[in-house]
Amino acid sequence: MAYFGPNMMFADLKCSPSCTRAGVHGTVSICPPDCFQYKGTLDVFNKIIRQEGFARLWRGTNAGLALAVPTVGIYLPCYDIFRNWMEGLAEQYMPAAIPYAPLVAGSLARSLACATCYPIELARTRMQAYKDTQIGKKPPGVFSTLLGVLSDVKGRNPQSSLQGYRIFWTGMGAQLARDVPFSGICWSTLEPTRRKLLGLVGEESDVFTVLGANFSAGFFAGSLAAAATCPLDVAKTRRQIEKDPVRALQMTTRQTLMEVWGDGGMRGLFTGVGPRVGRAGPSVGIVVSFYEVVKYALHHRYASS
């Protein structure tokens, strides 16, 4: 996370009254500018805990869970279907294309899951960016956050109807620009890695072998893909937290990347790469390994019945 400038959600945030560094301007508690300038992962943790409390590190968890269940439910089964179908076609008509099937299948499956679940992703990002300015004020939930996003649009243009709902997909282009390469890199790395690991034990694989091979391959592939696509993640986050609805609808991924480059150069493009890699590696490893273990168990149960 970094300071995003005068048009961003973070720019006009006022410190919580619990912040010991806050000064008083009239009746409003104001913090020094460095309270909203983060120098690294540990600095982010320190300032959030100091200003808002330890529990706020888990803000947006309900939205994260609401997002993860349908996303994984669409993403992984669709990936399996697309990959098997593409490998079958490639084997029949173009054997040289078989290694590229995971890359294309992963990209298509992720695009489908992203487009379906994107409004929840938008709500999760905005909930994490929300900052308390009053003691005892409860942060908004998923539904309230989405209603707030829509009311901003209708407040500026009361005549807008269905077009106003486009705001729910604000930044989806940046999300796809991030997730499609992420999935392509991830699956094209994960498939050969786990096949090689499983090949080391041959036919003697069991549940623990399947779990270990898939977790190791997923951890490695997820970490690599997360590091490579970090600039696109920064662009996606900037677009999602843009508070001006008109500008939010007009922003493009290329324009946002150029702004990030102008503000911080290469370092700005890779802001937050450590936390992103630290989250993506274990996340991909856990999801893929447990998904494959369930498939393994169901297959053996079906085969033995």
Domains and CATH numbers, the chain: 1-59 (no CATH), 60-170 (no CATH), 173-297 (1.50.40.10)
What is the structure's pLDDT at 211? 92
First to last CA, the chain: 52
Which amino acid does the sequence have at 227?
A
pTM for this one? 0.68
The conformation of residue 40, written as its DSSP 8-state character, comes to S
Q: What is the pLDDT of residues 145-157, one digit of tens each?
A: 767 766 765 555 5
Q: Which residue has the higher pLDDT, 170 or 65?
A: 65
> How many whole angstroms from its chain centre is CA 80?
21
Instruction: Measure Cα distances from 239 to 148, 161, 255, 279 in Å.
Output: 17, 22, 10, 21
Flag whether pLDDT at 72 surpasses 50: yes
149, 79 Cβ separation under 8 angstroms: no
Token reading at 204: 């003697």
165-218 pLDDT, tens digit each: 667 777 677 778 888 999 999 999 999 999 999 888 776 678 888 899 999 999
Cβ-in-10-Å burial (0-12, 13-18, 19+) of 295 comes to: middle
Question: What's the token pair of residue 39?
Answer: 């120098």
Q: By three-state DSSP, how is residue 138 classified?
A: coil
Cα 112 from Cα 78, distance rounded (Å)? 9
Which of 221, 195, 185 has the alpha carbon at shortest distance from 107? 185
Q: What share of the chain is helix, strand, coil (3-state, %, to 5)?
A: 75, 5, 20
Identify which of 46, 67, 66 has the alpha carbon closest to the alpha carbon of residue 56: 46
- Six token digits for residue 299: 């297959």
Nearest to 253, CA basis, from 261, 265, 244, 263: 261
